[in-house]
Structure 1
């Protein structure tokens, strides 16, 4: 940390985040966050995202009904996905009808692809697990998520990824003896 200059009162140094956060008033901090936030989305983007949520929710309702719902006393595999899907549809409708005037929504940017990348890599892991076990796909998934989506260093990415996969192996294969597909 930098020392105050000339014996005067300490002042904020913008290049030292800890100093800045300690010395900013709530109003200054709110103004800084306002400057840094991404551009606002328009009504069309809000409607498009609502329609995507609605579409995914309706598709999930159809799939969960196909799995079977059962009853609350005797649930079948589709019951909880059905309930969650209904909530998604309700929230999508709410956003479509009432959320058009929301000025807090962010404009779609390049960073908007990060959740899609996460979903696609997760789907690839699920598809590869029955073929080659979970260890290699889980390791690749951790590396992609930590390094490319999370911006971690290579050293921490590789170390944490290996530890996570080893922990999952220890918990689900060795300790619990689950039928998860694995190589070793």
Structure 2
């Protein structure tokens, strides 16, 4: 009987050689702590509050009819879905053990939302170029942990691409400096 000269691969030598069960166990070990019932209720109430606020704003914009919709119709439908999901989560999701506990990393989505709102507020005043660069730098450099070289390079490319598409090619009325 002839033996091959290739050495057998020992399981676990490479990270890619993990079985699905081993990989699931590794993920379970690295998972952040579970949130409690109070955190689940709080997040459900936030979704519910945002949904109710959006329902009110969309009704104020006007709903119209399905055959002649007004600007508030689709936001109204999405808002109603948010309210329903918030209520469902508040009632049925109290014992959910899959939700993560609020940690310092929980502030990242809030930071992203605040910086996006700041960009929208600054665009009519100073154009989109500078706020877009700052937004990209914050999202990629601080929130994404990218290297500063790639952050600066990609931010410049993204803003230049948006300028080329929306200002030069499409001729939109987006506020811009140049």
The TM-score bracket by the shorter chain reads: over 0.9
Match 2:90 to one of 96, 101, 116: 96
User: Structure 2: where are the runs of 5+ without partners?
Assistant: 1-6
**Whole-angstrom CA distance in 1 between matches of 2:65 and 2:143:** 40
| Residue of structure 1 equivalent to 2:162 | 168
| Residue of structure 2 equivalent to 1:16 | none
**Whole-angstrom CA distance in 2 between matches of 1:121 and 1:9:** 49
Matched residue of 1:39: which SS? coil
Q: Establish whether residue 120 from structure 1 lines up as the match of residue 114 from structure 2.
A: yes
**Whole-angstrom CA distance in 2 between matches of 1:75 and 1:159:** 43
Q: TM-score, normalised by structure 2?
A: 0.93
Q: Establish whether residue 12 from structure 1 lines up as the match of residue 6 from structure 2.
A: no
| Residue of structure 2 equivalent to 1:23 | 17
Q: TM-score, normalised by structure 1?
A: 0.90
| Residue of structure 1 equivalent to 2:142 | 148
User: Structure 1: where are the runs of 5+ without partners?
Assistant: 1-6, 14-18
TM-fit CA distance, 1:8: 7.2
Aligned length: 172
**Whole-angstrom CA distance in 1 between matches of 2:118 and 2:41:** 29
